[in-house]
Structure 1
Amino acid sequence: MEHLRELIANVADTSANVLIEGETGTGKELVARCLHDFSRRQSQPFVALNCGGLPENLFESEIFGHEANAFTGAGKRRIGKIEHANGGTLFLDEVESMPINLQIKLLRVLQERTLERLGSNQSIPVDCRVIAATKADLDSMGQSGQFRSDLYYRLNVVTLELPPLRERREDILQLFEHFLQQSALRFDRETPTLDSQTLSRLMAHDWPGNVRELRNVAERYALGLPAFKKGPSGGASQGLGFAEAVEAFERNLLSDALQRTGGNLSQASQELGMAKTTLFDKVKKYGLG
């Protein structure tokens, strides 16, 4: 998480296009919004388009816009997503789903910084930063002809890889508490206290739905509902015991702090608010030395 924060901070206030890679639910749009919010374009529009959620016959009009009577049913002019994002950021989610013929048009927009609406020959200047996201391997898709390699390289100026939640368990509790506070505020409820059984389940769960699933669990908990649904047998699936869950969280927390401080125990103890002798004992206990 710390490495990702540093990358976002370094990349946000540049004009470079960014490609975000990660499984479904890992928070790709959230990262894209962070990049926008910490950029010089923050006061301008952030426009999101899910390329996998549009039928091909509507895609061109949706992203590039059209003039009145450009096709049957086009009664009036429509401004496309790229124009709406002018001066700001265009976020293209599931970019691997974009039809090949429209990939060519998008590449031209990125190269020339102009576009033509459907049904028009007039070039319109546009200035937007493009952040694309994918759950696919675009490099492999390019080699097999399923995605244009030239567009891939144009989008892939900077790549941010979002690991699945199961590979960054040290972030689970912090993210859950953040989502829990957000949910309690939205539902106008007090933020509930996290009980030991739920903590155990949080740390043991595999999180196939990643951050999106974690947010959903936090919303249920904020509403006073069981955080985890019953398993197929009718009972809650078993996870780590409470003590094991706490130890797993503590080990990851210490490991993360040591990594950030380059193994400097004095700096790590100050950052954690922990006595240096206590930290030394725990480092020895968890074999982190």
Structure 2
Amino acid sequence: MRWKTRRRVVDLTEKGLIVGILNVTPDSFSDGGQYLDIPLAVQHAIGMLQEGAEIIDIGGESTRPGAAKVTEEEELARVLPVIRALREASNCLISIDTSKAEVARQAIEAGADIVNDVTGLKGDVNMAKVCAQTDVGVIVMHMQGSPDTMQDQPVYEDVLREVRKYFEERYRTLTKLGVNPQCLCFDPGIGFGKTLDHNLQLLHGLSTLQVNNRPVMLGVSRKSMIGKVLGLEDAEDRDTGTVALTSMGRLAGAQLHRVHEIRRNYEAMRMAEAVLHNGEA
């Protein structure tokens, strides 16, 4: 399995990747306000790379439930200086976490290699065109509703079937719009318009969600579902639960794991891969 990004093609046949989260926002649920200073943000990114991350996912607008919308100008002002500074410091893969086409375009010009869009490229009519023209890696996430409404009583008849059907539709539509199929990656959107039961069903059936041999990214780091299961109110206390899901998710076929805490998730992923590939030629 190969995944094409703007900078290079990544071979995911045997080894997955850790995606380090870098939020340059004041209001993200876990690390909001911690990395608004550019040198501090870059230092944190380099630290994540040294611990095993291979992609740094930079976001300038919180997508937590109920988060306030951010203007295009404000989002650009937050992310572009960090992308430029990190690109000068490292040849790592950089992902821009945005649903705005113009933010994606300018982020790519500044050095980003991947677009991570929580709306599945539905939030901005120009996003597919930007991604197709620049040949970046594209992470297509499933979300029911929008961040300000997504947790208002989400309902599915069969969440696994519906998420897979959404991936299949997105694959057909985006490739028709010119997006290279080798650039696509899919994310089931744990916590985005799903109840705890929906999230657990998706995790249980994760191995059934792969479409057209495209990679799957799992983003569960420190999310409220872990807090609900383990009775943990503070997001920072949910890292052990995250590690457990990273290991399980890798065994179930997820190739990318988007996390806050790197080292333990990297080690869990590599141990899962040792089990996964034991005895294979």
- Regarding TM over 0.5, the answer is no
Q: Provide TM-score, normalisation by structure 2.
A: 0.30
Greater strand fraction, Structure 1 or Structure 2: 2
Instruction: Find the structure with the greater CA-based Rg.
Output: 1
TM-score normalised by the chain length of structure 1: 0.29
